[in-house]
Amino acid sequence: MSVLTTSDLLNVTNEELDYWKVPKPFSVKGSTFELNAVFALFITLITLLATFGNILVIWLFIRFKSLRTYTNIYVFNMAISDLLMATTGFPLFIYSSLKGTWGLGKLACELYGASGAAFSYVSINSMSLISLEKCRFIASTVDEKHASVRGAIVTSLFCWLYSLTWAVLPLMGWSRYNLEGFGTTCSFDYASRYTSDKYFIITVYIMEFGLPLLIIIVSYSIIFRIINKRRPASVQRSRILYTKGLSSTSCSESESSGQRMNMEYKVLKVIFIVILLFCIAWLPYAVVGLISVFSHTIHPIGAMLACLLAKSSTAYNPIVYAIKHPRFKGKIAAVLRNAVERARETTRDF
């Protein structure tokens, strides 16, 4: 029996060949079995980190009313999508990797691919919304606390609807979800030779990767320009107020202005790090897909590494927000202090 290449496996359709009765591209013995075991271990660690981190962010958001701001609605939205991806899709990937092949059938493969795509879209679209709203608030005099939370909720619902629309298109006949890499996971049929499938891959990358990334880049470029323009004036004003010994009210205004600028820098740094990590995680996967559209020469190991790197993004966001974000960090510290105090009181009672 001849061994199929990854491109051949990905291009199997119901019209050409029985979808699931095809030769496996690799044996599960030897080095491939070891690689699958390593992949399973890696995704297990990512699953644990993503589950714990995103549950923490969700719990903090629900527990503390002060965290339910306009922009944090999108943070909550992103945490929900990442948690769903980690708890629904990753266990199937771990099972398939340990087994050495996708043994769950065609329907499960399609649902796995569609759900993974939807959650990924929601995550990156939420990030673009975060950057867009931060740009709007920093560029204007409107305080984020006074913004309509209802508007953010409506926008988040539209984000889910928009993302789900693109995710279900392959289920409705425009392209398809198929096996990728070692045949242990499912994604877009990005190695298909059909012209319509190529158009789908190019379109979805433009709408769900290129466009959000453009929004992020433009938004943060504007934010950097505004902050760099404001900071010298703020510093100069503070120096004048303190030098001339003006009233305490004026000094308080100066300190408040400086604190706001410092907060803007901290928030900007946190979100920029999140966006950077997301791009590092997803750009290789986008490159793999686009190269496969035109050349069909991606090595299965390269496809698997890009897939693993993309999945690891679910663990990046909650870690960065929980550790670096000033508001979330403050609430975590408060919870830990209360827990320590309660533990001490309990110990004293005994």
Per-residue pLDDT reduced to its tens digit, 98-156? 988 888 888 999 999 999 999 999 998 998 998 888 888 777 765 556 567 888 899 99
The predicted pLDDT at position 151 comes to 85
Dist. CA 306–CA 300, nearest whole Å: 10
DSSP string, 213-244: HHHHHHHHHHHHHHHHHHHHHHHHHHHHHHHT
The predicted pLDDT at position 271 comes to 65
Nearest to 322 by CA among 140, 57, 64: 57
User: Which residues of the chain register pLDDT less than 70?
Assistant: 1-31, 141-147, 230-268, 270-271, 274, 296-297, 321-323, 348-350
Residue pair 54/314 in contact (Cβ under 8 Å)? The answer is: yes
Dist. CA 78–CA 122, nearest whole Å: 7
For the entire predicted model, the pTM comes to 0.80
The predicted pLDDT at position 145 comes to 60
The predicted pLDDT at position 169 comes to 95
Residues 27-336: name the CATH superfamily: Rhodopsin 7-helix transmembrane proteins (1.20.1070.10)
Say whether 185 sits in a helix, a strand or coil: strand
Tokens of 333: 């510290």
Nearest to 123 by CA among 188, 40, 57, 24: 57
C-alpha distances in angstroms, 206 versus 162, 199, 212, 279, 283?
14, 11, 9, 14, 13
The predicted pLDDT at position 3 comes to 39
* Residue-range domain boundaries for the chain: 27-336
Beta bridge partners of 187: 178
The predicted pLDDT at position 231 comes to 62
